[in-house]
Amino acid sequence: MTESKQHNYAGVFDNRIGFGVRPALLCVDFVRAYTTEGSPLFAPQVIGAVRETVEVLKAARSAGIPVIHTNVCYTPGAFLDGGVWLKKLPALKMMVPGAPLAETCSEVRPAPGEPVLTKHYASAFFGTSLAALLTAAQVDTCILVGCSTSGCIRASAVDAVQHGFRAIVIRECVGDRHPDPHEANLFDIASKYGDVVGKDEALAYLAGLPRRV
């Protein structure tokens, strides 16, 4: 009889790291390409993740914590800034300046003063100033929302812990093209790289933070 993955991982890959004391909210690639039917990148699950994130975004802003957004954008023509990544995923060539599908979803649009980092690869840390930004803000906890779970969320969670930050993924606020990679990667993140928490737990944590100005 094959044992369950939960039993197999128990006591080795099931530890919780918990929230720290100085969090930031990282909104990863909530762009219209993932929520617009007919787009090659359309991921229906992301529509719900955007909707669920609205309340989290409001809570983060009320708590006065840093809110950082990312998008993906390439230089059209030779697409040199996409490197081998675009050879593997040529559909991403739609993400160019001015393209409507490259715009952030209106429900979670950055507020004035919130940084927007443009990335060229999966991780929000790779090739960006994110780690330096978080360190300068004395952040110890990176709360992740966005898409896709198996791509940019997973890569960003891995890099978060590798840069010394607690990675916290809000289950309801991330999405993917299909439930199987979504669930598999949430399981893997929770097992090895960070915590996967429910939205209610995250909101309670944000509500309990001392107000930062």
Q: CA torsion sign, 50 to 122 to 185 to 204? A: negative
- Give the side-chain half-sphere CA count within 13 A for 117: 23
The answer to whether 145 and 203 are in contact (CB under 8 A) is no
Of these residues, 73, 105, 147, 152, which one is catalytic?
Answer: 152
Closest CA to 155 of 127, 136, 132: 127
Structure tokens at 120: 């060229």
Structure tokens at 48: 């719900």
Q: Is 152 a catalytic residue?
A: yes
Rounded distance between C-alpha atoms, residue 164 and residue 161, angstroms: 5
Cis peptide before 148 (omega within 30 of 0): yes
Strands 116-119 and 195-197: what pairing? unpaired
Q: Which residues are catalytic?
A: 152
